[in-house]
């Protein structure tokens, strides 16, 4: 009964809109039609880019922007999509879920975007995706959160360019238990993204025979961290840390000051140090610790030609910083997701013969039909496997060791390490 109520309300509203729209439509038809036909043939494809320019996600936003601009330039230089140029329509969401939903609405109704793309922070994705579903706007997120594959969102939301936390941490658990220790204390930010870490790492790690002896949640806006560290139990063998937000450098520094010379093993997610210069004072204690990296920040000895060309296109040097400013360190472990997602949008639009908003459902079906994606210029981070049912991609994960102030890759997981059972089948939902 309760499930039916909103549907009935929607129908009523739709009915009312239809009547209203009839009048307006008749009035506009004569003038609007030529423009519409024009849009189908040569007008650019507009990709609404929801970007964290301000708020706690700002350093990610800056690099997501640079990566996306570079990817669009490459697509346009190669002739665009279906013969049409691609235009990014960036809009700041302030890393705020409420504003995020408004931005999605603006893409669909005001700026006439074909699709929306690019959101990172999980609370913004969770705040925006329902609106994208209501407006029937394909919404390609680059967020890492498990919320897409968990079935929490809708058929219009896809994550084809970056792997999710559940698969990442599941692939890390064997490495940690075999190489670092069996008793792990977890420190994570207290919101959806951190909870994914807490839930899925502890499960995967316990399956490896290890124990989690403490789970320390820290509010994402916290600025001072020493007060949390006494909760770390004495018998901890490994500290698992993942932190986000503007205070990540303080977090890692204070962790070092807390332990001094006698620290346990550290295993961190690079999120704790994204956009942070590894040579910042106070980070020396990280020497010898391990990091998950979505994509190795420092150019490795066996760097692929794709990574080399991708770095050059985005403007990143071999140390993962901007070529124009060595202090401007990139969010290298995440931003490849923007590059790859844009290439998937292109591939999906080409496969479905996308012409305009009427073909949005066909575009989603075309992306859902994708499976293996080979490593190459479209996928410089590595090969991927897309699951059309859960709308989530799976790929290789990297573990690096901090040596001499830089991160050297020591382990690469297989795609199989990251797979888990489907929790949802979005393809059964209607458009």
Partner 1 sequence: MDFGPHLMLAMLEGAVAAAILALTAMGLSVVFGVMRVVNVAHGEFYMLGAVIAWFVATTLGTHPALGFVAALVIAPALVGALAAAADKLILQRIDYDPERTIVATIGLLYIIQQGTLMTFGPDARPVEPPFNSRIALPWYEWVDGKLSFYYPWGLSITSYKLFVIAAAAAILVALWLFMTRTRAGLIMRATQQDSQMAQAFGIPVSRVYALVFGLGAALAAMGAVLVVPIQQAHYLMGADPLLLSFIVVIIGGLGSLPGTVIAAILIGMSDGVISVFFSPTLAKILATLAVAMVLVFRPQGILGKKAH
Phi and psi angles of residue 321, each rounded to the nearest 5 degrees, phi first:
-105, 170
Which lies closer to partner 1 via its Cβ, residue 62 or residue 384?
62
Least Å from the CB of residue 58 to partner 1: 3
Of 89 and 275, nearer to partner 1 (C-beta) is 275
Question: What contacts 24+ positions apart, CB below 8 Å, involve 227-230?
Answer: 228/187, 229/254, 229/255, 229/258
- Cβ at position 63, least distance to partner 1 in Å: 11
Report in angstroms how near the CB of residue 15 gets to partner 1 at its nearest: 43
CB of 283 to partner 1, least distance (A): 11
Cβ 288 to partner 1 shortest distance, Å: 18
Q: Which residues here bind partner 1, judged by CB under 8 A?
A: 53-56, 58-59, 61-62, 219, 222-224, 226-230, 232, 234, 246-247, 249-250, 257-260, 262, 275, 280-282
- The residue among 265 and 375 lying less far from partner 1, judged by its C-beta, is 265
> Token pair of 204, please?
């995967």
Spatial contact of 151 and 423, defined as CB atoms under 8 Å apart = yes
**Distance of closest approach, residue 49 Cβ to partner 1, in angstroms:** 17
Q: Which is nearer to partner 1, 54 or 304 (CB)?
A: 54
Taking CA atoms, 71 is separated from 48, 58, 191, 310, 314, in Å, by: 14, 20, 30, 9, 8
SS (H, E, C) 35-64: HHHHHHHCCCEEEEEEECCCHHHHHHHHHH
Quick one: three-class SS letters along 98-165? HHHHHHHHHHHHCCCCCEEECCCCHHHHHHHHHHHHHCCCCEECCCCCCCCCCCCCCCCEEECCCCCH
- Report the Cα 153 to chain-centroid distance in Å: 15
Our CB check for partner 1 shows the closer of 45 and 124 to be 124
Least Å distance, CB 229 to partner 1, is 6
CB of 237 to partner 1, least distance (A): 13
Between 54 and 213, whose beta carbon lies closer to partner 1?
Answer: 54
CB nearer partner 1, residue 274 or residue 307: 274
Q: Hey, what are 326's tokens?
A: 């060595």
Roughly what angle, to the nearest 10 degrees, separates helices 305-314 and 332-352?
A: 100
CB of 230 to partner 1, least distance (A): 4
Nearest to partner 1 of 59, 177 (CB atom): 59
Question: Is the CB of 130 or the CB of 181 nearer to partner 1?
Answer: 181
| CA R_g for the chain | 22
Which distant-in-sequence residues (6+ apart) come within 8 Å of 214 by Cβ?
Answer: 185, 186, 231, 232, 233, 236
Task: Sort strands 398-403 and 157-158 into parallel, antiparallel or unpaired.
Answer: unpaired
Q: Are the CB atoms for 233 and 264 separated by under 8 Å?
A: no
């Amino acid at each position: 009964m309760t499930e039916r109520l909103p549907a009935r309300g929607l129908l009523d509203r739709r009915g009312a809109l239809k009547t209203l729209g009839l009048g307006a439509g008749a009035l506009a038809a004569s003038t609007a039609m030529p423009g519409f036909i024009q849009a189908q043939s040569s007008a650019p494809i507009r990709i609404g880019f929801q970007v964290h320019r301000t708020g706690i996600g700002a350093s990610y936003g800056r690099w997501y922007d640079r990566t996306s601009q570079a990817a669009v330039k490459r697509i346009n230089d190669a002739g665009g999509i279906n013969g049409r140029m691609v235009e990014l329509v960036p809009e700041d969401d302030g890393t705020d879920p409420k504003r995020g939903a408004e931005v999605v609405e603006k893409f669909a109704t005001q700026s006439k975007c074909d699709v929306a793309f690019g959101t990172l922070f999980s609370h913004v994705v969770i705040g925006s995706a329902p609106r994208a579903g209501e407006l029937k706007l394909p919404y390609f997120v680059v967020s890492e959160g498990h919320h897409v594959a968990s079935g929490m969102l809708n058929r219009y939301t896809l994550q084809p360019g970056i792997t999710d936390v559940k698969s990442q941490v599941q692939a890390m658990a064997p490495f940690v238990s075999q190489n670092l220790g069996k008793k792990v204390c977890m420190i994570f930010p207290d919101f959806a993204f951190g909870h994914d870490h807490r839930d899925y790492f502890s499960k995967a790690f316990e399956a490896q025979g290890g124990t989690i002896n403490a789970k320390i949640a820290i509010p994402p806006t916290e600025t001072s961290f020493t007060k949390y560290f006494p909760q770390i139990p004495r018998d901890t063998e490994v500290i698992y840390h993942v932190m986000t937000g503007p205070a990540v450098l303080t977090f890692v520094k204070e962790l070092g000051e807390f332990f001094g010379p006698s620290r346990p093993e550290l295993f961190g997610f690079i999120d704790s140090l994204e956009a942070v210069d590894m040579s910042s004072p106070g980070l020396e204690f990280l020497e010898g610790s391990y990091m998950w990296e979505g994509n190795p920040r420092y150019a490795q000895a066996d760097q692929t030609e794709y990574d080399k060309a991708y770095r050059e296109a985005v403007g990143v040097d071999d140390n993962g910083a901007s070529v124009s400013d060595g202090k401007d360190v990139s969010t290298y472990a995440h931003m490849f997701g923007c590059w790859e997602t844009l290439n998937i949008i292109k591939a999906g639009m080409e496969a479905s013969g996308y012409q305009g908003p009427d073909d949005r459902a066909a575009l989603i079906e075309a992306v859902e039909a994708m499976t293996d994606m080979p490593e190459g210029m479209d996928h410089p981070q590595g090969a991927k496997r897309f699951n059309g049912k859960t709308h989530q991609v799976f790929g290789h994960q990297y573990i690096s060791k901090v040596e001499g102030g830089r991160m050297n890759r020591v382990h690469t997981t297989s795609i199989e390490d990251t797979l888990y059972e489907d929790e949802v089948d979005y393809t059964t939902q209607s458009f």
